[in-house]
Amino acid sequence: MSQKVIDLLNEARSRELTAISQYMSQHYELEDRDFGKLASKIKEIAIAEMKHAEKLAERILFLHGEPTSKPDATFKKGQEIPQMLAMDVALEQQAIQIYNEAAVACSAEKDQKSKGLFEELLGEEEGHLDFFENIKNHADKLGAAYLATLTGK
């Protein structure tokens, strides 16, 4: 199998590990600040990202590669909700770009299974992006009044 495909899978896994760390950190911070409704949704997305990282690792192992355990960036703490959401939108946009490009590259390498994995993950990342963009737009337009609706369980 192609080392190029293994490298693409590891690049994606590294990005997923960053997203997991970022989203779990946000979950803890939001929960502590009584934004439980938003915290629980971000935790749900973090768990989905964990599943993505696992699928990528399984494919890398199948191809006789070594799955990375290193995130591609460090996560940020102590942000206000609008800044968190802007970062989350950027993370998801990056994933979508990477996975689109990786699917094309896997096809060129004649690895349809890896291409299919990237396409599957791409669909889920688009759903995450949609969620983050919607929440960010509401927060930008409605401000504190909207954020208040995200408190509690």
pLDDT (tens digit, 9 = 90+) per residue, 24-67? Answer: 999 999 999 999 999 999 999 999 999 999 999 999 999 999 99
Query: What are 59-113's pLDDT values in tens digits?
Result: 999 999 999 999 887 777 888 999 999 999 999 999 999 999 999 999 999 999 9
Tell me, what's the pLDDT at 133? 97
Tell me, what's the pLDDT at 30? 96
Residue/partner pairs of 128-135 with CB below 8 Å, 24 or more apart: 128/45, 128/48, 128/88, 128/92, 129/89, 129/92, 129/93, 129/96, 131/41, 131/45, 132/85, 132/88, 132/89, 132/92, 133/89, 135/38, 135/85
What the chain holds in terms of domains, given with CATH numbers, is 3-66+79-148 (1.20.1260.10)
Tell me, what's the pLDDT at 79? 87
> Which pLDDT band holds residue 138 (cuts at 50, 70, 90)?
very high
> Does 136 score more than 80 pLDDT?
yes
For residue 55, what are its two tokens? Answer: 């699928």
> Which pLDDT band holds residue 1 (cuts at 50, 70, 90)?
low
Tell me, what's the pLDDT at 77? 82
Tell me, what's the pLDDT at 102? 98
Tell me, what's the pLDDT at 15? 95
> Which pLDDT band holds residue 153 (cuts at 50, 70, 90)?
confident
Tell me, what's the pLDDT at 152? 83
